[in-house]
């Protein structure tokens, strides 16, 4: 299933060519065939820019309360209205993107690196290290993702640091499994065997020849992992276990807005809800687009 | 088949031991004192010591682990700090609700996925395919609690078809109030299920045995139902099994959103009330459910497809 996605250039570069055997290259956008990449990239890019330049896009402090203007609809001063404490919804949305998207993207890095390295080592060397690691992976996957993350956050306490830690402990498993499976395929290929007969060291083979040929799938998976992380972060905050108020966050906004649903005020839930869905959707498109681009290289 | 069973069961025993140990390590060997965390900073040192003694935290770690294992084997899951009652009896009240919720979620997932996948597989690429893919991406990218909240707004607050929360008193009310929560969980699994069913149905539709069915002069609908769907749905069983964790995690989330008195809401109450024994027990039972579903999936797959027994 995965072999087809591997770039075929490694054999052409010889045993230890100066050029890296694998390069991350996108298909040109102007051909117009990779519509997912275009849509996902533009929308997610715009959201990231809005988060980065949040202070320039709104005059209001996202935590400043103005009880006289609580629960107001859209006005010139507050284009998306205000919440029950009179805080500007647009500002909270922008600054919420900072915390949610920032943590979601950063939380992918550590599991990605750890899982990829462990997976490559397991697949390449096999033996007791592989057996032990895969049994640990079995145990981690026996816990429902959410149950384990929530338990870990409970043990470590609220806040971004423990969200990072919880996601890392759970997520490395997927990367390790993906890269291990890819490595098992690559390991039997001619170019790795010629590396071995050529007398290259194990470390060099793994870093220069195995990893570059097995990371593609992990990169594609990382995109969907960011989507999953956004889900985890907003859900934790919705439960009151994630980002600590008053730091703005979309999950907290939805949770706060929920008490006004019965009074017919839906905007406080729908606006941050739409932001969550738009972020996830654009990332999914971006991930599909990257997968298409990598497949097209075949 | 016996060899297959023995191999699967021994691996399962290993995983169960790992799960139990990991849960123990999480609660007992992490920094901080559970007794102090439960009672808060203002509690007196003697009260904290008393709770430590009650939970056995004053013993060496090895002894704690041994007691944890022996208690578990005898069905003693400890006493809830908040509820002041044995956790086993709390679970006995709440586990059936969660299991019913998960069962309904699976049913809805199949009822939604099978027609969608069949429709797309028969139609091939085109509008139907794009529509289902976008629906899948939206459903996959929307956190469970948000799907639940949106369903509440539409079907609870506006259409008044279903209650916005609670569990009711009679059996009929129970089922009625579990419909929206179950659909919420189901929508989280539907995208993956549709993808897998569509792929295997597309394969089946192009296979020789379907062509044979057509050449026998059977009606297209009969060929579809008796040949293609029947063969194509084996992969669906596996996908449903793999999604057991999503199901259980979904139950945890929707029970909070819809205020259903199941195991998920017990766990969250335990977490917010820093009730360590409850968190430990519910984590363990949730993992137990997943492990059992994995085993059942393996076994049913082996029964459906003899080749799997040899793998």
- A241 in Cβ contact with A150 (< 8 Å): yes
Give pLDDT, residue B311: 53
Instruction: Show which of residues 98-137 on chain A sit within 8 Å of chain B, judged by CB atoms.
Output: 135-136
The Cα of B146 is separated from the nearest Cα of chain A by a number of Å equal to 7
pLDDT of res. A18: 34
Separation in Å, CA of A197 to nearest CA in chain B: 32
- The chain A residue lying nearest B21, using CA atoms, is A139
Closest to A104 in 3D by CA, of A171, A184, A58: A171
Chain B hits for A135, CB-CB cut-off 8 Å, are: 14-15, 18
In the prediction, which pLDDT does B118 show?
Answer: 86
Check B249 against A146: CB less than 8 A apart.
yes
At B205 the pLDDT is 80
State the best of A136, A144, A264, A288 to mutate against chain B, taking most chain B CBs within 10 Å: A144
List b or e across B52-71, with b for residues whose CB sees 16 or more CB atoms inside 10 angstroms. beebebeeeeeebbeebeee
d(CA A270, CA A71): 14
Residues 6+ apart with CB under 8 A from A197: none
The rounded radius of gyration (Å) of the Cα atoms in chain A is: 23
What is each CA distance from B251 to A239, B98, B184, B258, B265, in whole angstroms? 14, 7, 9, 10, 9
- Tell how many helices (H) and how many strands (E) occur in chain B: 16, 0
10 Å CB burial of residue A51 (0-12, 13-18, 19+) is buried
Comparing CA positions, the residue from A74, A18, A4 lying closest to residue A265 is A74
d(CA A246, CA A215): 39
CB spacing of B146 vs A276 below 8 angstroms: yes
Q: H-type helices in chain B, by residue range?
A: 2-28, 34-39, 45-54, 61-73, 87-123, 127-141, 144-151, 171-205, 208-215, 220-222, 230-232, 234-242, 244-257, 263-272, 276-304, 307-310
8 Å CB contact of A155 and B30:
yes
Phi, then psi, of A123 in degrees rounded to 5: -70, -35
Is A276 at the interface with chain B, CB within 8 A?
A: yes
Q: Which residue of A has its CA nearest to B283?
A: A147
What confidence tens digit (pLDDT) does each residue in A70-94 have?
788 788 888 888 888 888 889 999 9
In the prediction, which pLDDT does A6 show?
22
What is the reported pLDDT for A5? 21
Distance (Å) from the C-alpha of residue B304 to the closest C-alpha of chain A? Answer: 23
| Out of B137, B143, B145, closest to residue A284 by CB | B137
- The ipTM, to two decimals, is 0.85
Q: Using one digit for the tens of pLDDT, what is the confidence trace for B141-166?
A: 899 999 999 999 999 999 999 998 88
Q: Give A146's contacts in chain B (Cβ within 8 Å).
A: 248-250, 252-253
**Which stretch of A53-67, B9-23, B195-209 has the lowest confidence by average pLDDT?**
B195-209
Q: Are A297 and A220 in contact (CB under 8 A)?
A: no
pTM over 0.90: no
Inter-chain touch A284–B153, beta carbons under 8 Å = no
Asked if A51 reaches chain B (Cβ–Cβ under 8 Å), the answer is no
The CA distance from B148 to A258, in Å, is: 11
- Cα angle B222, B228, B229; round to 5: 90
- Report yes or no: A154 at the B interface, CB cutoff 8 Å: yes
pLDDT of residue A275: 95
**pLDDT per position as a tens digit, B221-265:** 888 777 777 777 777 777 788 788 889 999 999 999 999 999 999
B290/A276 touch (CB, cutoff 8 Å), yes or no? no
Instruction: Tell me the nearest-neighbour CA distance from A221 into chain B, angstroms.
Output: 14
pLDDT value of position B29:
63
Query: How many Cβ atoms from other residues are within 10 Å of residue B175's Cβ?
Result: 13
Cα–Cα distances in Å, from B37 out to A149, B32, B58, B81, B170? Answer: 19, 8, 15, 12, 39
Q: Specify the pLDDT at position A297.
A: 67
Cβ partners under 8 Å of residue A247, min gap 6: A63, A95, A99
For residue A63, what is the DSSP state?
T
B chain contacts of residue A141, beta-carbon cutoff 8 Å: 245
Residue B232, judged by CB atoms within 10 A of its CB (0-12, 13-18, 19+), counts as: buried
């Amino acid at each position: 299933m995965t072999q087809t996605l591997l770039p075929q250039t490694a054999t052409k570069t010889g045993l230890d060519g100066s050029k890296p055997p694998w390069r991350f290259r996108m298909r040109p956008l102007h051909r117009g065939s990779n519509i997912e990449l275009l849509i996902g990239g533009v929308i997610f890019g715009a959201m990231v820019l809005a988060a980065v330049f949040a202070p320039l896009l709104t005059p209001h402090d996202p935590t400043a309360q103005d009880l006289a203007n609580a629960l107001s609809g859209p006005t010139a001063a507050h284009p998306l209205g205000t919440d029950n404490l009179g805080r500007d919804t647009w500002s909270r949305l922008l600054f919420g993107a900072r915390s949610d998207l920032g943590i979601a993207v950063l939380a992918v890095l550590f599991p990605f690196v750890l899982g990829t390295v462990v997976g490559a080592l397991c697949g390449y060397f096999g033996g007791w290290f592989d057996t032990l690691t895969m049994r640990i992976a079995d145990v981690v996957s026996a816990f429902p993702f959410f149950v384990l993350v929530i338990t870990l956050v409970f043990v470590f306490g609220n806040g971004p640091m423990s969200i990072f830690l919880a996601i890392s402990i759970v997520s490395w498993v997927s990367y390790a499994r993906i890269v291990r499976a890819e490595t098992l395929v690559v390991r039997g290929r001619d170019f790795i065997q010629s590396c071995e007969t050529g007398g290259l060291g194990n470390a060099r083979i793994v870093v220069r020849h195995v990893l570059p040929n097995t990371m593609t799938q992990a990169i594609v998976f990382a995109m969907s992992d960011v989507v999953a992380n956004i889900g985890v972060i907003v859900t934790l905050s919705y439960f009151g276990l994630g980002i600590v108020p008053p730091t703005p966050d979309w999950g907290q906004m939805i949770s706060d807005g929920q008490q006004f649903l019965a009074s017919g005020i839906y905007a406080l839930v729908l606006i941050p809800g739409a932001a969550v869905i738009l972020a996830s959707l654009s990332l999914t498109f971006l991930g599909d687009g990257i997968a298409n681009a990598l497949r097209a290289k075949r | 088949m016996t060899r297959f069973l023995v191999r699967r069961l021994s691996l399962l025993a290993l995983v169960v031991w790992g799960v139990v140990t990991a849960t123990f390590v999480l609660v007992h060997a992490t920094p901080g004192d559970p007794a102090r965390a439960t009672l808060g900073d203002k509690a007196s040192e003697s009260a904290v010591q008393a709770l430590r003694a009650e939970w056995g935290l004053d013993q060496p770690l090895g002894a704690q682990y041994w007691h944890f294992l022996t208690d578990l084997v005898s069905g003693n899951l400890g006493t809830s700090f908040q509820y002041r009652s044995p956790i086993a009896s709390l679970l006995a009240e709440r586990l059936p609700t969660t299991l019913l919720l998960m069962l309904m979620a699976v049913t809805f997932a199949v009822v939604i996925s099978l027609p969608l996948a069949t429709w797309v597989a028969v139609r091939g690429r085109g509008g139907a395919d794009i529509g289902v893919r976008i629906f899948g991406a939206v459903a996959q990218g929307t956190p469970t609690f948000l799907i639940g909240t949106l369903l509440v707004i539409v079907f609870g607050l506006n259409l008044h078809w279903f209650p916005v929360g609670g569990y009711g008193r009679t059996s009929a009310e129970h089922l009625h109030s579990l419909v929206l929560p179950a659909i919420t969980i189901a929508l989280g699994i539907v995208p993956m299920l549709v993808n897998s069913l569509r792929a295997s149905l597309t394969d089946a539709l192009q296979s020789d045995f379907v062509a044979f069915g057509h050449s026998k002069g059977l009606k297209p609908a009969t060929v579809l139902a008796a040949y293609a769907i029947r063969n194509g749905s084996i992969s669906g069983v596996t996908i449903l099994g793999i999604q057991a964790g999503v199901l259980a995690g979904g139950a945890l989330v929707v029970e909070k959103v819809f205020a259903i008195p199941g195991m998920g809401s017990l766990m969250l109450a335990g977490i917010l009330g820093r009730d360590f024994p409850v968190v430990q027990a519910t984590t363990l039972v949730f993992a137990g459910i997943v492990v059992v579903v994995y085993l059942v999936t393996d076994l049913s797959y082996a029964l459906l497809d003899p080749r799997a027994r040899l793998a």
